Amino acid sequence: MTHYIKAFPLGNADSTLIKLNSGKNLLFDYAATKTDSAQDVRCDLPTELNKEVKADYFDVVAFTHADMDHVKGFSDYFYLQHAYKYQDGTRKKINELWVPAHIILEEGCEDETRVLRAEARYRLKQKKDIKVFSRPGILKEWLKIEGIQFDDVKHLIVDAGKTVPGWDENNEEIEFFSHAPFASETMSVNRNDACLVLHATFKNQQQTKLFLLADADWELLHEVVVLTEHFKNYHRLYWDLVHVSHHCSYLSLSPEKGKQVTHPLDPVKSLFEEYGNEKCILISPSCPISSDYDNVQPPHRQAYNYYKAVAETKEGEIKVTMEFPSKENPKPIEISVNNYGAAIIKAIIPQGFASERQPPKAG
């Protein structure tokens, strides 16, 4: 079996597509950031996705949280069940929507976030076509106010520390494990603290493990590692591929940026240095890495220097979405996953081919 992962060059924004050997397509976040400016080299996300997905639907669309750099333009692209105004033309349907509970419960949201909340609430009320991650007490209160019995929808709710129904040990291709958000979180937390953190295992002859860290900061990752180790689910921490958190922000590693390199706090340090496998691949969904160590906004050079050192120590590699294969003409980073592991596929550039790490030999 050969599967493919694509990470799109969108600036400091996210969209990652998993194309399974069976033909199923799973999309994680959607942010159509490209403008009409000739200087804007970010990709046209709707066009790219339509080239990849010929069907009129995605099997899964997951929104890790509701910040605009993860949802921008989604209401122009997807067929949404809750209102006729989003059902025209050739919009792509979403067979199953995945959202953290925070999206259902957030108050005072606007624009795209409000539309996403309306769609998620509608599907939950219809008791189908959705998975909600975590069950904070406030969710039960909301269900009660809406006249919904918790027992009628509990099969749609995925707790942290559990596999995703339908995408669990019974799935022949891939298994998803939910690390976060936690049920203990309340609406006082910000979106990043309540974001969706997932661990995927591709079930090839040589299993390949993918960590999708969304915009998790160091405190959330600290809890992920501590709790997972406490329950002895060590195999849910190992990874071959990682979607670096929050556009290569130092705050995903430590509260201190550092002068030349960000030094992560334990146990975040162990997540990368102990649980990262040899020949690993790190993907930074971000703008090009600046040489300026004083940048306020990510990507932070100090954080990149740390991730680069991890990759070098493990004979792996790190790629930045807005730098592959070049800053002047970035293209989606495509990774193949097969019985030999994971490898970045060559990208055609005017001068020839970008290099590709070859999969390891069997045996």
- Could you report the per-residue pLDDT of 214-223, keeping only the tens digit for each? 999 999 999 9
Mind listing the pLDDT tens digit for each residue in 314-346? 999 999 999 999 999 999 999 999 999 999 997
Mean pLDDT in residue range 3-25: 98
Position 146, amino acid: E
> So what's the pLDDT on residue 11?
98
Q: Quick one: pLDDT at residue 349?
A: 56
pLDDT at 110: 85
Where does the pLDDT of residue 186 fall: very low under 50, low under 70, confident under 90, or very high at 90 and above? low
Is the model's pLDDT at 188 over the cut of 60?
no
Alpha-carbon distances of 120 from 83, 123, 132, 180, 226, rounded to whole Å: 12, 5, 9, 18, 30
Predicted local confidence at residue 302, as pLDDT? 98
pLDDT of 361 reads 38
Q: Are strands 130-133 and 157-158 parallel, antiparallel or unpaired?
A: parallel
- Average pLDDT over the chain reads 94
Amino acid letter, residue 203: K
Residue 363 in this model has a pLDDT that exceeds 60: no
- What percentage of the chain exceeds 90 in pLDDT? 89
Contact 285, 277 (CB under 8 A): no
Distances from the Cα of 55 to the Cαs of 25, 85, 95, 98, 234, in angstroms?
9, 21, 12, 19, 37
Query: Tell me, what's the pLDDT at 350?
Result: 53
In the prediction, which pLDDT does 329 show? 96
Higher pLDDT, 97 or 107: 97
* pLDDT confidence band for 360 (50 / 70 / 90): very low
Poorest-confidence range of 41-55, 102-116, 186-200, 311-325? 186-200
Most confident of 106-110, 132-136, 177-181: 177-181
DSSP for 276-296, written as a single string: EEEEEEEEE-SSPPPS-TT-S
pLDDT over 70 percentage in the chain: 94
**Does the structure show a pLDDT above 90 at 297?**
yes
Domains of the chain: 3-353 (3.60.15.10)
Q: Are 253 and 306 in contact (CB under 8 A)?
A: yes
β-pairing verdict for 348-349 and 341-344:
unpaired
